Structure 1
Amino acid sequence: MSYAPEPSDRALLWRLAVIGGESPLNGLDKPKVDPKVRKRLKAAGFTEEETRKPPTGGRGILHISISEKGWNYLAEHTTAPLSSRANVVPVLQGFLAQLDRFLTAHNLSLADFFRLKPQSNPPSEPTADPQRNGTPPPTIALTQRILDAYNRLSGGRLNVRVRLADLREALADIPRSALDNTLLQLATSGQAALYRLDNPLEIHERDREAVLLTPAGDPRHVIYLGGQGS
């Protein structure tokens, strides 16, 4: 029998989604995560868990993240009810923060957002770039996760430098090839700018390991989102 998330399970998935899809478990303790809910989602493959050691050392911390299966489920069940017993305030607050970033990025007012009407003939997605070996265009979910991670690393500011090493660490569950292809396509469309670090003293081992190569073979170490970097 296939697993169908319960309303309390969906509440936890949305709670993770609105903060970028992952969090240390101890960062979700207000309200406290029900162990039964967490175990159900993990057993069904909707979430993944990993123990990570803090950069400063010490005891490992359990991190929980939404899997691709979990993201797909949320995309297909956006209006499914949440548990009336769950504290959905963190979900609402997260959604409002995401809404604020969306309105700012698209230069829309709140009134514009509520007056938006669906297009009768939505534009088709762009075809794959033949120079990308037939790689399909990035999914909306993956692009949003990149934007969310960038916002967390940049303190919510656009057009500031973020190291690819930090971005990769924040999105460690995404296959490297998928992340690289998406970043290159965002750069091609003008939504992102990728640069190399020219000062050898700025390039650390993490930067060398996280380097992104353009189709021409040029190295890139940092990313700017929201406009041309300076």
Structure 2
Amino acid sequence: MNNTPQPLQVLFLWNLIFTGGEGFKQDLKPELKPASKRKELIKWGLIQEEKRKTKKGSQALYIQLTEKGWKWANDNITAEFSNRSTASAPALAALLSRLNNYLNQHHLSLAEILGLLNSDPVANEPEIDLEQRIRDAYYQISDEKWNVRVHLHELRQSLPDISRESLDQKLLDMQKQEKLVLYNMDDVRNIRPEDEDAAIDIAGFKRHILYMEG
């Protein structure tokens, strides 16, 4: 028996995921016709449905992605979906909206998320615990305080033996792992030449300072 969702079913699942993983059937796109197409997803354990009361007080089918459905999505990100349905555009819009929220919350750029920056380790660099050295340097510069502003030029001065490329890449990796946050300096009047020289340029946006929690 073939338990592989077909392109239109795949698009339905992605729309469901990008809009929060649940919703009333009448609000979900594309509409799966015949109903057996939706029933197949239930049979395979990817979604579940029940009757719920709407805001208007009437009863309607409410659909939720199951844990198995989330696992399917994680394992089948490249699954073929229908490109003929008009529901493709809302799916993309919902994804971009969630991506935008994530970028804003974590102070990241789209370039960082898409991996446009070189993530290869620098050749012939001696193996060191660079993350720990960064943490130690930050703690020393900040007078043994966490979650306070430290200028990148101060950090670079504290780690003179680390190449700029290696240090930049490690800082970006740590930001992705939510171990620190890189910020720009909002008031350009406070940006000194050493701040400008030490800044990390991410897709045209310069980050001059960092915050790190202990």
Q: Larger C-alpha radius of gyration, 1 or 2? A: 2
TM normalised by structure 1 equals 0.46
